[in-house]
Amino acid sequence: MEDRVKNAAWVKEHAPADAPSRIKEAITESFPQPKFVPPPAAPPVMAPPPAPVAPPAPAPVEIPVIAPVPAPKAAEPPPKAPVPVVKAPEPKPAPVLAPAPAAKPAKKPFVLNKTAVIIVCAGLAVAGIAYQLILNSPKSRYARAGQLVLKARNTEAISAYSRIIAQHPGSIEAAYSHYAIGDIKALQGNPLEAIEQYERYMVAAPDKDEKLASARFKVAELELKEDLLADAEYLFQNAAIQASDYATRAADRVAQIRAVKARVAEANKLMARSPAKAVEAYTAVLAEHPKYAAALAGLEKARKALAAANARPARRRAPAAKPRRR
């Protein structure tokens, strides 16, 4: 069908002037017209049925009117900061170039001055010698140790004196350090250690040193306190003490020692006749000299003799003869 329509359109376009009549005839022959058929008669109009009666409508329900919520206002944007006006930089004047500095002369290489080095070394050597001779000399150190004694720092003083003895043996300060340590030990209540230090001084000191008599007298005094009466008596009679200012006191000490020895000798005589009295005599001596060896030995013998005497059976006495009557 479509092909025929296209062909007819082409023929109509390209046909000659009398072609329309011919084309009309051809189209009529090709497409016969349908016959007219009258439309059917309309049905009779019927009356509409009665409309149904609607039931009464219910009373309208009142719906509460809700007030509209106002929409939140949009936050106002913060005020814009004023835009600073940027000024164009002023043109700077062209820098004026300073003239180039003159070239410095080259430094001379450092040359060690031998003379200066010799002077510095000599100065250090002199300072070291001065330190050894003045500040670190045994005499200076002995004086500083004496200052410690005056401040009652006896432990530090003993250490200082001991260093002098160790580092400067054979010096007079080393000998005097023994003497000073002896004084400290005697003050601290250590008589035996003090005697030892005094004796070391007497060995190290020169023969006619001014402190020899003092050292011997102090040793004799300490021996007397320790009840070493025989040693003390011998030392009190030393020639150096007898020729010194200690001679008078030494003579008094010798007399005191001899009196004690006489009491012990008397107690020895009592032992054979009356051991009990001998015990009393020895006890009296030991009350004054508790470490005296001779009195301790005599007391022990007297007690043994007394115990032996008490163990013997008592002898019966013969009855006295009655007088005859005349």
Which has the closest alpha carbon to 178: 219, 137, 129?
A: 219
* Other CB atoms within 10 Å distance of the CB of residue 168: 17
Query: For the chain, which residues make up each domain, given as ranges?
Result: 119-209, 230-311
Fold of the domain spanning 119-209:
1.25.40
Which has the closest alpha carbon to 267: 230, 236, 294, 307?
A: 294
Question: What tens digit of pLDDT does each residue of 208-223 get?
Answer: 899 999 999 999 999 9
Span of 125-129, 232-236, 238-242, 279-283 with lowest mean pLDDT: 125-129
CA distances from 15 to 21, 23, 24, 28 (A): 11, 9, 12, 17
Question: What tens digit of pLDDT does each residue of 62-81 get?
Answer: 665 565 556 656 566 666 66
Question: What tens digit of pLDDT does each residue of 316-325 get?
Answer: 545 555 556 5
Which has the closest alpha carbon to 268: 256, 277, 259?
A: 277
User: pTM here?
Assistant: 0.55
DSSP assigned state of 205: S
Q: Which residues, at least 6 apart from 130, have a Cβ–Cβ distance to it below 8 Å?
A: none
